[in-house]
Amino acid sequence: MNQKETQDSTIKKKYENIIYDEVSFGIITSLRFNEPLNLKNLAQLIGRPETTTIRYLKQLLEDKLIDIDAEKTASSWGKFYHLSDPVKKIVEQNERESQQQENQIFSELANYKNMSEEKLLQIFLREITSKEISDEVKMRLKGETNLSYNIQKMIINSFINASNRFKKVQEEKGVDYLKKNFIMDPGDINTTTIFVKYSKVKHVLALIEKFLEFHKGIKELQSEFKQEMDKEGIPDDDRKTHYIGLFMGTTDFDFRLKQE
């Protein structure tokens, strides 16, 4: 392993460690979707004081998980930050692996449908009792769940900050000024939570199938939107990212043992 590979491996381990840290991973999440950002922007997005945020920024810089954006910093007041190249590669790799896993699950669903409940339980038991896979699954679940949490928090904090600025402008310049000058991004915040009773592995697989079908439809829309924006020449700065997330799992995960 050469020096660069060793450095990248060290950075990957540090990245995996901060998945468990709300502030550090919140900064990484904010930069992933909004870079470059300065201290004030980051503090607002993660909902922490600037004094706290700068302390975490210094550690992330030291760990080479983020870098100072030299170009933006040179043309603006204060320092601006973005993800380091190794972290960008980690994020891209995670996205590819997630997509591959989703495609694999989708292709295997047809086989699962024809299996008995007993056979399905055997397969699931074999998966969760493999130590290597179990550790990998735990890391992936923690990372994806924390990412989803941080994105939602970022969206809410961003909305609150925009709402406060909106209110201030309205108080200072009046409603007529807003009617003439107000421009709003085409976005919204939607929350939906559904609880479904189930008792079999096949029930869970049916839920997963519905989600994958929905996800596939969203991917098709994603491609259509991109083609439309490319055709119209919409600048990257005017292309907003809309978050669509789903976390599924039983509210009382447990297991029982049959009596011999």
| pLDDT, tens digit (0-9, with 9 covering 90-100), for 112-145 | 777 888 888 887 777 667 666 667 667 777 888 8
How confident is the model at residue 193, as a pLDDT? 84
pTM attached to this predicted model: 0.76
Domains by residue range for the chain, with CATH: 3-184 (1.10.10.10)
How confident is the model at residue 25, as a pLDDT? 94
- Answer yes or no: is pLDDT of 88 > 80: yes
How confident is the model at residue 224, as a pLDDT? 96
Region class of 28: left (phi > 0), else alpha (psi between -120 and 50), else beta: alpha
| pLDDT classification of 205: cutoffs 50, 70, 90 | confident
**What value does the mean pLDDT take over residues 64-72?**
93
H/E segment holding residue 81: strand 80-83
Q: Please give the backbone phi and psi of residue 173, each rounded to the nearest 5 degrees, phi first.
A: -120, -10
